[in-house]
């Protein structure tokens, strides 16, 4: 097939890749045969000048017709950009991700470093490890986390890791680590610097095959914004204040949901979609 040039979310032009469509559909949990079918169909339909957003919308519609739970999961990257407009919901969400992996977490802590006090987005601790964590949230598609961001946080981590809280963890024979988490991708320069200085990074598709999206899929800890009916960035703040940040919270936190002054039809739609996401996945797996 003749090469078709499409437009990325950052305005850059690139050749359409059937393999990228196939891979993204597979990541949503769809079987290989369906992923090939959808990739073939989109390859036939795509036209010069289509945006990656248009392609994503087409793929999602095709998935909705055949495998609704995968259609919801396919929207994960976009859903991550809806955990705003402030960084507060994203920080709470990352804490829940660490909790799902067996950590006890604390958010929005003030800690004394060697030189000054710092506000830290989250701490995560288990019997072997103690993490000092910072989050860099982006609410725009196509925005990447640059090396300047990594440099900034690395300087703060350098002071914090010499502070009393870190020293206390070391006395308990715990490995003290620092981690910078972003909801998008890191630039290649940011990754190169992180590797050079030993700074742990976690973001979309990084580390390779162990990125944020892999952890989310493995533990089924999808953000509440992945549900199609969840719209409006003001709404996420209301939910986050009640500690409702995961899609599964819609099904398990009835008392907290009851405290929200939101329309019953809206909450009913969220519950229906959450059941669709988790119950259909159980049947298919």
Rounded to 5 degrees, what angle do the CA atoms 255, 258, 264 make? Answer: 140
Closest CA to 246 of 76, 118, 85: 76
Give tens-digit pLDDT for 38-58.
999 999 999 999 999 999 999
pLDDT for residue 281: 56
Rounded to 5 degrees, what angle do the CA atoms 105, 111, 116 make? Answer: 155
Give tens-digit pLDDT for 88-115.
999 999 999 999 999 999 999 999 999 9
- The answer, yes or no, to whether residue 280 has pLDDT greater than 70, is no
pTM, to two decimals: 0.90
Give the Cα separation of 29 and 255 in Å (integer): 31
Give the Cα separation of 202 and 133 in Å (integer): 10
User: Does a cis peptide bond (omega within 30 degrees of 0) precede residue 87?
Assistant: no
pLDDT for residue 1: 54
């Amino acid at each position: 097939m003749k090469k078709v040039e499409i437009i990325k979310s950052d305005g850059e032009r690139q050749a359409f890749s059937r393999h990228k469509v196939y891979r993204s559909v597979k990541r949503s949990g769809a079987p290989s045969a369906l992923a090939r079918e959808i990739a073939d169909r989109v390859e036939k339909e795509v036209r010069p000048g289509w945006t990656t957003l248009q392609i994503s919308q087409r793929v999602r519609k095709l998935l909705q017709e055949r495998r609704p739970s995968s259609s919801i999961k396919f929207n994960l990257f976009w859903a991550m950009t809806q955990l705003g407009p402030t960084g507060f919901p994203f920080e709470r969400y990352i804490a829940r991700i660490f909790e799902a992996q067996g950590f006890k977490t604390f958010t929005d802590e003030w800690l004394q470093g060697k030189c000054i006090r710092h506000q830290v987005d989250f701490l995560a601790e288990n019997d072997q490890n103690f993490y000092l964590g910072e989050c860099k949230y982006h609410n725009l598609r196509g925005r990447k986390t640059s090396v300047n961001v990594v440099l900034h946080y690395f300087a703060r981590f350098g002071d914090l890791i010499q502070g009393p809280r870190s020293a206390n963890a070391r006395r308990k024979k715990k490995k003290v680590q620092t981690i910078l988490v972003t909801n998008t991708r890191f630039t290649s320069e940011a990754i190169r610097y992180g590797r050079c200085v030993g700074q742990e990074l976690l973001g979309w598709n990084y580390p390779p095959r162990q990125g944020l999206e892999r952890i989310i899929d493995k533990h089924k800890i999808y953000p509440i914004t992945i549900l199609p009916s969840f719209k409006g960035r003001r709404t996420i703040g209301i939910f986050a204040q009640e500690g409702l940040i995961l899609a599964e919270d819609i099904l398990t936190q009835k008392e907290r949901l009851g405290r929200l002054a939101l329309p019953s039809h809206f909450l009913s739609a969220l519950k229906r979609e959450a059941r669709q996401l988790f119950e259909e996945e159980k049947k298919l797996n």
